[in-house]
Chain A
Amino acid sequence: MGAMNTKVIEAEYDYVKPASLDEALDILAEKENVKIYAGGTDLLVKLKMGADLGMDIMMDINGIEDLYGVDKTADGGLRIGAAEKIWNLETNADVIAMYPILSEAMHLMASVSVRNMATIGGNFCNASPVADTVGPCMCYGACVELKSKKGVRTVDATEFFLKPGVTVMEADEILTAIILPAPEENTGAAFTKMARVRPDIAKVSISCVIKRDGDAIKDCRMAMGSVAPKPLFLGDISAELAGKKMSAALIEETAQKVHDFVKPIGDHGTTAEYRKEMAHLIAKEILEKAWENSGGELA
């Protein structure tokens, strides 16, 4: 990277702030090189670091009422508007009660001031492998709702991400909401994030939601951050646990599978080998904790 000056934004572009979703979708359909501004905590950092985003128009979505709200769905789940701020969500009584590790993961993000700005939609659409809201959402079985002039579609959170910065979203689409299904009885969840100091982005994070049936696992979902080029849903490893009787041996076996499966990269300050070792350790911890939180006991 060349000389950079984070005091100003050097890129030049127009700014628009549509007042409705229809207006925003029209702009996306008709204009080229539009970038959405939600909280700006990823977008503006990139602009200031001199990234060439090819942005001709910055579209501010903060004036669109349809993108706000945390509402109960007909089936007892929750619909979270994409432009809701992380801080609003982590302190929302329904989010805390129904999806505790989503609230927990949000609380561990960045700092209060950043969370007052950042949105959940931005965390998803930025599509970083570290995105902290994504793992919990995947484990709770969330879908994302995408809208364009052509209509609406919902995509399972586990199928939304393709590679760093890239999702299945088309250029004319807006992520309008994250939709979470109703929590079930005897469900336990756990989240852990390892970082050097708190405001750091995660070196490794892991989320787990277990549905318990007596002393057996009815269903288990695990996801990890920062161990692959995209947020990683451990679909196969999780699925193998369904129907099995829970035990310390099963947890150890599963943690080893996680270790063998993940393909992290090394970067400044964290080697790939360290990330793999940590993956093993925290997978074990998270399975024990989620099981305990589901009301289960370890033989």
Chain B
Amino acid sequence: MSMHEITLIVNGKPQKLTVKSNELLLNVLRDKLFLTGAKYGCGIAECGACTVLKGDRSVMSCLVPAVAADGWEITTPEGLVVDGELNAVQEELVNKAAIQCGFCTPGMAMAGTACVRENPDADEDFVRDYMRGNYCRCTGYQAIVQAILAACEDAKNGKRV
């Protein structure tokens, strides 16, 4: 099995790592970089708990070979926090009480952030459609959708997303 020297730019910082060909991005983020925001849920791209951003686009890190992510600019849920401040989506998830057990929340924050960045004029249909790959077993989604819609307004008022 081949070993590879890779560089991931994680939350703005270049990280040099040695990975095996069959290692997964999610496990490298969690176990080697100790960024445990992204969660392991299903492992097969069906639940969204492991969502991270590649540039401004969301991907499921459970299904990305770490070696294939060499050179990627990755944002994890931790990276949405700047100088101790939550971004608009994270803050609205708190404001709208869109969190119960919290397991899906980091993934919701990531996918929600991608959604707001892509379309700050999003309406409810757009948000629900955009978020359809992120599962929540607790909240019933209503509060999550409201939080993302509120973050769209925040973004238009200049708040950081």
List residues of A whose CB falls within 8 A of some B CB: 5-17, 37, 40-41, 44-45, 47-49, 58, 60, 62, 87, 110-114, 116-117, 197-199
Contacts and interface: CB of A to CB of B under 8 A. Distances in A.
B67 A87 contact: no
Contacts of A8: 22, 24, 27
Contacts of A47: 22
Contacts of A198: 129, 132
B133 A113 contact: yes
Contacts of B68: 15, 17, 37, 40, 60, 62
Contacts of A5: 43
Given A113-B58, A113-B60, A113-B111, A13 B45 contact: no
Contacts of B133: 110-114, 199
Contacts, number: 104
B24 A41 contact: no
A113 B43 CA distance: 14
Contacts of A10: 22
Interface stretch (B46-54, B86-94, B152-160): B46-54
Contacts of A45: 44-45, 63
Contact of A13 (B1, B42, B59): B1
B136 interface: no
A118 to B, nearest CB: 9
Given A7-B40, A11-B22, A15-B67, 9 more contacts: A7-B27, A14-B21, A41-B63, A45-B44, A48-B44, A60-B67, A113-B48, A114-B133, A198-B129
B130 interface: yes
Nearest to B20: A12
Contacts of B22: 8-13, 47
A11 B54 CA distance: 26
B57 interface: yes
Interface in B38-89: 40, 42-46, 48, 51, 54, 57-60, 62-65, 67-68
23 contacts: A6-B42, A6-B43, A6-B44, A8-B24, A9-B23, A9-B65, A15-B4, A15-B21, A17-B67, A17-B68, A37-B68, A40-B65, A44-B65, A48-B43, A48-B44, A48-B63, A58-B21, A111-B45, A111-B133, A112-B130, A113-B59, A117-B63, A198-B132
Interface in B106-157: 111, 114-115, 129-130, 132-134
User: What 10 pairs across the A-B complex have the smallest Cβ distances?
Assistant: A111-B133, A6-B43, A15-B21, A14-B2, A9-B22, A12-B1, A113-B58, A116-B57, A44-B63, A198-B132
